[in-house]
Structure 1
Amino acid sequence: MTDQLPLERLALWVEKRPDAVWLSQPVNGQWHDFTWAQVDEQARRMASALQALGCAPGERVALLAKNCAEWFIADLAIMLAGLVSVPLYPLQSAESIDYVLRHSQCKAIFVGKLDEPDKLAPGIPAEVMRIAMPYPTMAAQYTWAELLAAHQPLHEVHRQSAEQLLSILYTSGTTGQPKGVMLSAGAFAYAGSQSVREMQITEQDQYFSYLPLSHAAERFLVEMNALYSGGRVAFVESLETFASDLRHVRPTVFFSVPRLWTRFQQGVLEKLPQAKLSRLLRIPLIGKLVARKIRKGLGLDRARILVSGAAAIPRALLEWYQSIGITICEGYGMTEHLAYGCFNRPGQVRFGTVGKPMPGNELRIADNGEILLRCPSLMLGYYLDPEKTAETITDGWLHTGDKGEVDAEGYLKITGRVKDIFKTSKGKYIAPAPIEGEIAKNLWVEQVCLMGSNLDQPLALIELSPAAREQSQEQVTADLAQTLQQLNAKLEAHERLSHFVVVREAWTVDNGCMTPTMKIRRNVLEARFADQLGELDARQPLHWQ
């Protein structure tokens, strides 16, 4: 039997559980619930409005908002009207928004919760109709409430087909312009249905949505998994209420990224220093009580599936969470196959790997070490870029650009990027990822970027964690110097680091050092620090910029 397509799955829950709550949205500290029937009605009214505004089947409609119930409803409305969704990152620059909207030829855009809407508004061309979600946002020609009130629910909804283009997801791009990944309704159906079946996720499960829904991982792991499992989704209201919202929701399925897992850890250690925590955890009964209290304080005491993705997570961090009774399952995926790739299943976790391929996925390693994937959720191609599509997919195999190894039991280990490998002035090649992983074990390190192209020896740029900024510079310097010494003792001669360079400016999306999916833009950092790095004193291996 073929998997139900997203709209068929929605219809199933509306028929089976119309009065069950699906979405919960906090507004000014008050929680508002949406049942399956209410979501369906609002989505049909908005679909009717989109058609009345002149959006014809196959045309593109963008979404620019932080996560909220209306994001899901707008996405479903776009599907019901036979349109194609184009999600945008809430942290995207106005220039990038302008590029994506023009490149995808969007007819309309939903705008919602945003931190600085006035900065983003110039990125929306005048000819693109704006529909404002019911939150403070930028000026728009149409409002959510007005459109819902003015239109009856669409009766004859679009009939999806597996081959139909459902969404264009633009990659954030560590270099160059974003690429539009075209994903079919069948890709969404396959990823959602197979995932909930494999992970045994049901309507009893609870999700917490806060990572950008414009990212393939959140769209698949939260929106699609909730649609296919029938599980409830609660949204975060704001950054300020994040911790209290998480404690209120107590999700059973929770997805985060390494940088945020690090922040959660630092929050615990600020209240309970590591030395004291380690002592308490060693005491049999008290250790269990302390660990349970920490889990409850985080809001993760009910979580049974905890996921980390989007970037590599240090093994030391995984082991720290394990010590408090939280097993993080690291996974691996790309936008080009809707993030449905490899995963460490609960109870079968192997630290240092990203798990085994999910059902239906084929994995092989090319002669140059590149990871190749072939799966039913693979993209249709890059929008308006057949040349790049042909470069990326050969004989149905996706060239990921990542390097990896598969062990005897089928677990995949990521060893770096094919193009990240750089050559020093001595002609020696260096893979940065494993070395960066070792440096990241130091608790004072928030982020690290190895550089060395055309230098005699590589060096590491380091952004300090918030906890480090509260320590004395002497203490942090001593700890980092020890890490550098211990690391160099393990490395080959050509890999040994000449310096740790501690940078003052944080790496953010706004200053161009990070992509909206929180990946470091190595080329930007290399360009930014190139002049300074040639003048470092060889006698001082630790340099504060």
Structure 2
Amino acid sequence: MRDVSLPPVVEPMRTGGLADSVHDRAERDPGFAQLARRGGPGGDEWVTVSAAAFRDEVLALARGLLADGVHFGDRVAVMARTRYEWTLFSYALWSVGAQVVPVYPTSSAEQVHRILSGARVVAVVVEHEDHAMTVGAVCDAVPSLRRIWQLDAGCVRRLAEQGRGVPDELVDRHRRAVTPRSVAAVCYTSGTTGRPKGCVITHGNLAAECDILHAGWSGLLAGPGEQPSILAFLPLSHVYGLMVQVYCVRHAVLLGHQPDIAPAALLPALASFRPTFLFAVPYVFEKIFRRARQVAAEAGKADLFDRAMDVAVRHAEAVEQRNLDEGPGPGAKLRASHALFDRLVYRKLRAVLGGRVRYAVSGGSALGRELGLAFAGAGITVYDGYGLTETTAAVTAQPLGRVRYGTVGRPMPGHAIRIARDGEIWVRGDVVFAGYLDDPGATAAVLRDGWFATGDVGFLDDERYLVITGRKKDIIVTSGGKSVAPQVLEERVRSHPLVSQCLVVGDDRPYIAALVTLDPEALAHWYRLRGKEPADPRRASLDEDLRAEVQKAVTLANNAVSRAESIRAFRILPAEFGAEGGLVTPSLKLRRAAIAEMYGAEIERLYAS
């Protein structure tokens, strides 16, 4: 086994809970701009909410929760997109010692039933009527469920009115009874490789995650004289998004909410909010990059964009080598080219994010090395990290100023990484969860003498940076006995501008094959450039020119592996894998088993010949 660890840099939370930060901030700096909400005539302006005003809203809602029968230790589900009220309910529930159970807003009735009954929730917050109907379809099978509150029907206002007679002192008594070991949330795993399990996340877990990140990386959040600001658009139903919310409230960062992650909605929100820092997943960086190239191509400047990105990658690679004491840095000619393209191309890419972002964090899955270098060369350094629901988001991060692209960094201070003999990654530290809800067998299987066995496989490079190669359960074994980690192939295929998603298959099959989906905007753009009429998505795979384009991506991916591991056949699917069908997780990772089941006939056809 190989181990690597770093000493702690912060003291763990000793007393209290997460809601204390709301009250402490309001007392110390009542006028501080803690949150921002959309306002104005068209809803396009951002209106700030002071720390005192947010505290008062949290108190009013907390009183209403007590009046409506929520008790200390009760579990309340929240099924909504990323919006202001999600944060409001989180802190109101934590103020009365209740536990949040996040539910992804596109969950099916079966998934909702599994979570609500498994967590024995007493109430659920839904966003709109469709969500209410989904919960209503299963509520009779959840005996513990007593209330359904609907955000778009004014439940916040009604609860606040209901709690007018409840004294603030009662809320304070509940809040002061919360300790770091108290449960803050029961977050269900994504279920990429099996049945979702409820991860018990404590107040101490979330506080440790946020405090360690702040101690080591807070200098990246904003430039001199700027108030740090973050636009939350990741699902708050995922532990990564939940951590971002807690970080902002706990460490005085202006927090805004954006419910729709689709580029057509997200990019205008970024441009208007103008965040100073970005928390995202690889999908977002891929979409931003593709959109920038598409805009350049529509203006007849695709070649200019490609040359600029080639310079960006080479410049970032030279800077990386210098920062890691492995090279002298960019030469004079490269620096001159980089400065020229900064005026012509890179600043426009930065403007897409509002113009103020210089650093970002990527999580949820590994960020491709080439994409990380491209963003760094364009002036936005992306710090890739690694974590799971069970580790309260990140457990590794890139060291400050010493990013090694293509890796997920080193353990965060106070944490340790171990590579077991079979390549499995084990982790230890204050961010590791308390266990799976009501499942001691599953808990004992992954928590061993203080170590959490992640189920991921990888290795430590010569500088002890962690490299993820895949999930143990994702390893494909062909009928010839060849073991193949699909992640490398999938990332390479996805790097093509047309490709949105790629799923590699081949278990007990004679060779490796792939299911590929296309980016709708990129596909429409591809047709326009060639003067073709856009084909029906169901018939796009019959276009020989289009198939040849995807074949380029497959060929590039195959160059990274041996012939026995290469993709021999692929099929272009008519639509992207979506959350609505349960085919992707809240962090946009593919649910392999669900996809294989839904597209079983397509997979069979890949091997029919």
Q: Structure 2-normalised TM-score?
A: 0.82
Q: 2:231 is matched with which residue? A: 208
The equivalences for 1:96-111 within 5 A come to: 96-111=111-126
Fraction of identical pairs, as percent:
27
Q: 1:543 is matched with which residue? A: none
The equivalences for 1:47-196 within 5 A come to: 47-112=62-127, 116-117=130-131, 120-123=134-137, 125=139, 127-133=145-151, 136=152, 143-152=155-164, 154-156=168-170, 157=172, 158-159=175-176, 160-196=178-214
Letter in 1 for 2:344: V
Q: 2:395 is matched with which residue? A: 341
Distance 2:562 2:467 in 1: 21
Cα deviation code 1:108-164 (max 9, x no counterpart): 1222368x436534355164312233xx36xxxx72112213424622422221111
Tell me the number of residue pairs that the alignment of Structure 1 and Structure 2 aligns. Answer: 531
Distance 1:444 1:385 in 2: 43
Q: Would the alpha carbon gap of residues 387 and 275 (structure 1) be closer, same or farther in structure 2, given more than 3 Å must change? A: same
Cα deviation code 1:467-517 (max 9, x no counterpart): 135425444322333343454455323213221221113211122322233
Distance 1:215 1:113 in 2: 20
- Give the CA deviation at 1:299: 2.4
Given candidates 275, 278, 282, the residue that maps to 2:303 is: 275
Q: 2:4 is matched with which residue? A: none
- Give the CA deviation at 1:301: 2.2
Given candidates 256, 267, 289, the residue that maps to 1:234 is: 256
Distance 1:300 1:111 in 2: 31
Distance 1:251 1:493 in 2: 45
Q: Would the alpha carbon gap of residues 507 and 331 (structure 1) be closer, same or farther in structure 2, given more than 3 Å must change? A: same
- Give the CA deviation at 1:237: 5.8
Q: 1:542 is matched with which residue? A: none
Distance 1:445 1:285 in 2: 31
Q: 1:251 is matched with which residue? A: 275
Distance 1:496 1:316 in 2: 20
- Give the CA deviation at 1:177: 3.3
Cα deviation code 1:205-249 (max 9, x no counterpart): 1010111111111111x2121122111101126555432221121
1:95/1:123 contact within 8 Å kept: no
Distance 2:227 2:560 in 1: 48
Q: Would the alpha carbon gap of residues 132 and 511 (structure 1) be closer, same or farther in structure 2, given more than 3 Å must change? A: closer
| 1:13 aligns to 2:25 (yes or no) | yes
1:392/1:398 contact within 8 Å kept: yes
1:64/1:110 contact within 8 Å kept: yes
Q: Would the alpha carbon gap of residues 490 and 58 (structure 1) be closer, same or farther in structure 2, given more than 3 Å must change? A: closer
- Give the CA deviation at 1:280: 5.7
Letter in 2 for 1:387: G
1:329/1:349 contact within 8 Å kept: yes
The equivalences for 1:452-491 within 5 A come to: 452-466=506-520, 467-472=522-527, 473-488=543-558, 490-491=560-561
Distance 1:106 1:90 in 2: 16
Report the RMSD for the aligned CA atoms in angstroms.
2.4
- Give the CA deviation at 1:358: 0.8
Q: 1:223 is matched with which residue? A: 245
Distance 1:303 1:82 in 2: 36
Q: Would the alpha carbon gap of residues 111 and 485 (structure 1) be closer, same or farther in structure 2, given more than 3 Å must change? A: closer
Structure number with the higher helix fraction is 2
Moved more, 452-461 or 297-306: 297-306
Letter in 2 for 1:261: F
Q: Would the alpha carbon gap of residues 460 and 356 (structure 1) be closer, same or farther in structure 2, given more than 3 Å must change? A: same
Distance 2:89 2:410 in 1: 34
| 1:22 aligns to 2:37 (yes or no) | no
Distance 2:446 2:308 in 1: 51
Cα deviation code 1:46-94 (max 9, x no counterpart): 1111111122211111111112222112111111111111111112222
Cα deviation code 1:311-364 (max 9, x no counterpart): 232222223323322222111111101013111245221111011111111111
1:171/1:180 contact within 8 Å kept: yes
Distance 1:300 1:351 in 2: 24
SS at match of 2:285: helix
Q: Would the alpha carbon gap of residues 489 and 213 (structure 1) be closer, same or farther in structure 2, given more than 3 Å must change? A: closer
Q: Would the alpha carbon gap of residues 280 and 54 (structure 1) be closer, same or farther in structure 2, given more than 3 Å must change? A: closer
Q: 2:347 is matched with which residue? A: 293
2:477/2:506 contact within 8 Å kept: yes
1:6/1:227 contact within 8 Å kept: no
- Give the CA deviation at 1:294: 1.6
Relative CO higher for 1 or 2, CA cutoff 8 Å, sep ≥ 6? 2
SS at match of 1:307: strand
- Give the CA deviation at 1:30: 4.1
2:350/2:357 contact within 8 Å kept: no
Given candidates 560, 575, 594, the residue that maps to 1:524 is: 594
Distance 2:427 2:12 in 1: 22
Given candidates 449, 452, 463, the residue that maps to 1:409 is: 463
Q: 1:325 is matched with which residue? A: 379
| 1:420 aligns to 2:474 (yes or no) | yes
Distance 1:20 1:303 in 2: 22
Q: Structure 1-normalised TM-score?
A: 0.91
Q: Would the alpha carbon gap of residues 226 and 527 (structure 1) be closer, same or farther in structure 2, given more than 3 Å must change? A: same
Distance 1:440 1:155 in 2: 55
Q: Would the alpha carbon gap of residues 420 and 241 (structure 1) be closer, same or farther in structure 2, given more than 3 Å must change? A: closer
Q: Would the alpha carbon gap of residues 485 and 33 (structure 1) be closer, same or farther in structure 2, given more than 3 Å must change? A: closer
2:281/2:587 contact within 8 Å kept: no
Distance 1:105 1:451 in 2: 37
Q: Would the alpha carbon gap of residues 151 and 476 (structure 1) be closer, same or farther in structure 2, given more than 3 Å must change? A: same
Q: Would the alpha carbon gap of residues 232 and 63 (structure 1) be closer, same or farther in structure 2, given more than 3 Å must change? A: same
SS at match of 2:526: coil
